[in-house]
């Protein structure tokens, strides 16, 4: 430290002349030369080239240079955050097929963690959901071959394949012994919206993902419910549980249907000028009808945009458990000439109140557990969220995800029903606990 250096200097020249003391005791600190960041980058590129040349010449077997370069690019991007990455030409085509809503595979939304594939959510009525795959499951091997050492894109490519072919995945689940599951691949026709109307005119709309077909399918569901109820259902439940997200424009258009004017969501990029607000049009479906949105830890990204917008605008009551907490937006940038595409996190998004849910999630207005828990069981739960992912962006407001607490409600002892959260949502609409104008009625 500077004070120690000055003190040592004075001690060393004790007894010298006054001029000598002054000259040595108070040296002018030299300003270190500023290094041009571009120079550092070029030096690192030279280092990379040297390492590649060494590996080419001296590695024990011949290396696949294009594959090594692709891995290096992907490593750089995934070190930024868990949602950025490089898509080679084949991966880019697969992504385009997935967002169009039909492809062959198992039907799971996944990410990478500690070298394993981690399930964010299984899609409805797919091989994965029917086999009981759960959010937070770690896939450690595919057909007996360990996943460690592969990229997420490579693992996903292995899980996709021809309809009717079988695949065995090894699963690691918290609190259980590792187990294998054999699945049969299917053409995943992501019917992103389904609906039901019960005998008391409560409409149930399930949105499983946000792809290019979500808004048209939702419009069709709304029209059917409206026709059967004369435009006045007793209440509407929108189920976003285990919906891992999808396209931003679909999240905006879905929110728009239930709002009349005003902001849905805003995004902020790196520069102050990179700000955009997405607004709802005037007019909304089922105006004046009570609305409940169901969420859980598998509700991510686009699902959180919808839940956050309807919660902040006081149009819906949010019921369930805290959502995943992905508050960032990725842009897919085609690189042309069969070079694939860059998937890059380019913005954070904010709910209409101006808050970021990054690494936090959407907190429900009424927390309802799907299963009965004791305090001891709650303490043993290992939560899986955006904040747990390697290199996840921090919440820029400095906020942290709330610790798990006992829910407001949970199933009674001996409960044998299929879906307690949905049952309670319906009951709250039937008994008037939820109103359209103020959401949840609170005592006092």
Active site residues: 301, 312, 326
Is 332 within 8 Å of 98 (Cβ atoms)?
A: no
Residues recorded for the chain:
444
- Closest C-alpha to 124, from 59, 214, 12, 4: 214
For 18, the enclosing helix (H) or strand (E) is: helix 18-25
Is 226 within 8 Å of 255 (Cβ atoms)?
A: no
Write phi, then psi, for 244 (nearest 5 degrees).
-75, 5
Alpha-carbon gap, residue 41 to 44, rounded angstroms:
5
SS3 content of the chain, % helix, strand, coil (to 5): 30, 25, 45
Is 295 within 8 Å of 309 (Cβ atoms)?
A: no
Alpha-carbon gap, residue 69 to 66, rounded angstroms:
5
DSSP 30: P
Write phi, then psi, for 264 (nearest 5 degrees).
-95, -50
| Strand-strand pairing, 291-295 and 317-320 | parallel
3-state secondary structure of 423: helix
């Amino acid at each position: 430290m500077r004070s120690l250096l000055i003190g040592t200097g004075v001690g060393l020249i004790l007894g010298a002349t006054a001029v000598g003391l002054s000259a040595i005791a108070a040296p002018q600190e030299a300003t270190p030369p500023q290094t041009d960041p571009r120079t550092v980058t070029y030096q690192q590129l030279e280092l990379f080239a040297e390492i590649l040349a060494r590996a080419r010449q001296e590695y024990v077997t011949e290396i696949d240079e294009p594959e090594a370069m692709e891995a290096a690019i992907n490593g750089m991007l995934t070190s930024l955050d868990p949602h950025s990455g490089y898509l080679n030409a084949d991966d880019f085509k697969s992504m385009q097929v997935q967002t169009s809503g039909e492809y062959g595979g198992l039907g799971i939304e996944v990410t990478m963690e500690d070298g394993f594939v981690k399930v964010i959510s299984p899609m409805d009525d797919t091989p994965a959901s029917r086999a009981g795959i759960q959010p937070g499951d770690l896939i450690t091997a595919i057909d007996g071959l360990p996943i460690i050492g592969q990229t997420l894109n490579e693992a996903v490519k292995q899980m996709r394949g021809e309809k009717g072919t079988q695949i065995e995945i090894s699963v690691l689940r918290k609190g259980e012994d590792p187990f294998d599951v054999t699945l049969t691949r299917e053409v995943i026709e992501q019917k992103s919206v389904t609906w039901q109307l019960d005998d008391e005119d409560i409409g149930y709309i399930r949105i499983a993902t946000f792809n290019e077909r979500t808004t048209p399918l939702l419009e069709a569901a709304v029209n059917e419910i409206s026709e059967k109820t004369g435009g006045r259902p007793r209440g509407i439940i929108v189920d976003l549980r285990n919906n891992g997200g999808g396209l931003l424009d679909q999240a905006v258009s879905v929110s728009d249907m239930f709002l009349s004017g005003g902001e849905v969501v805003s995004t902020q990029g790196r520069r102050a000028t990179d700000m955009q607000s997405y607004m709802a049009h005037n007019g909304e479906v089922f105006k004046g009808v009570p609305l409940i949105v169901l969420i859980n830890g598998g509700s991510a990204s686009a699902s959180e945009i919808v839940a956050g917008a309807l919660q902040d605008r006081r149009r819906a009551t949010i019921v369930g458990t805290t959502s995943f907490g992905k508050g960032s937006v990725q842009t897919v940038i085609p690189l042309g000439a069969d070079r694939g595409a860059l998937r890059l996190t380019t913005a954070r998004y904010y709910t209409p109140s101006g808050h970021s849910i990054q690494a936090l999630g959407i907190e429900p207005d009424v927390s309802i557990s799907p299963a009965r828990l004791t305090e001891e069981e709650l303490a043993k739960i290992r939560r899986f969220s955006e904040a747990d992912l390697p290199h996840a962006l921090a919440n820029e407001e400095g906020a942290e995800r709330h610790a798990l607490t006992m829910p407001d409600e949970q199933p009674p002892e001996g409960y044998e029903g299929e879906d307690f959260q949905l049952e309670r949502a319906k009951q709250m609409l039937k008994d008037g606990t939820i109103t359209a104008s103020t959401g949840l009625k609170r005592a006092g």
